[in-house]
Each structure stands twice: as structure tokens, then as C-alpha cells.
Amino acid sequence: MTTALTPIARLRPTDYNRGMAYRSLSELLDDLARDGELVRAAAEVDAECEIAEIARRQQACGGPAILFENVRQRETAVVTGLFSTAKRI
């Protein structure tokens, strides 16, 4: 038996958010911070060179997700490692 897939254009937000545990990224980040699974990095970092290496090292040892709050020449923060451990999935 095959099931027909609903084209994405026809989906309403309530259709695809039904199974999600969080309604927003900020809600997920707050929960991770409460559980000690998020580190906030306030120091300035370079998006091209530093973020990837820092994230790779943290993920290799099963470390927490990282929210880089001060990314050089960027207006937005960057978060890495949200789903890098089985516990966070």
C-alpha cells in the first residue's frame, strides 16, 4: 500500500508542527541551557575559521551545543551542535 504525499505548498503550520517538541528555536535553546547542554560563547569569533574548529572539537567529545553570540562581521548569532548527541535528538 502506498500513501500519497501532501505537497508542501498545501501544508499548514499545524500540519507539520504536530510532532515537534518545541515551537521555536529560542524555546529549544532555553531548554538546552536549563539542562546544561548549551554553552554561550560571548567572545568574538570568526565565522570562516574559528567556529567550525571549535564546534568540531566539542562534538568529537560529546560536548554541549554552542551559541556563538558575537560572530565577526555577522549580524546574527550562530548555534552549532544542537543535535550532535543521542540525548539531544
Half-sphere exposure of 14 (CA within 13 A, CB side): 0
Q: What confidence score (pLDDT) does residue 86 get? A: 80
- Quick: pLDDT tens for 10-43: 555 554 445 567 888 999 999 999 999 999 999 9
**What is the widest separation between alpha-carbon atoms in the chain?**
55
- Quick: pLDDT tens for 43-64: 999 998 899 999 999 999 999 9
Q: What confidence score (pLDDT) does residue 46 get? A: 94
Sequence spans of domains, the chain: 37-89
Query: How far is the C-alpha of 34 from the C-alpha of 31, rounded, in Å?
Result: 5
pLDDT of 66 > 80? The answer is: yes
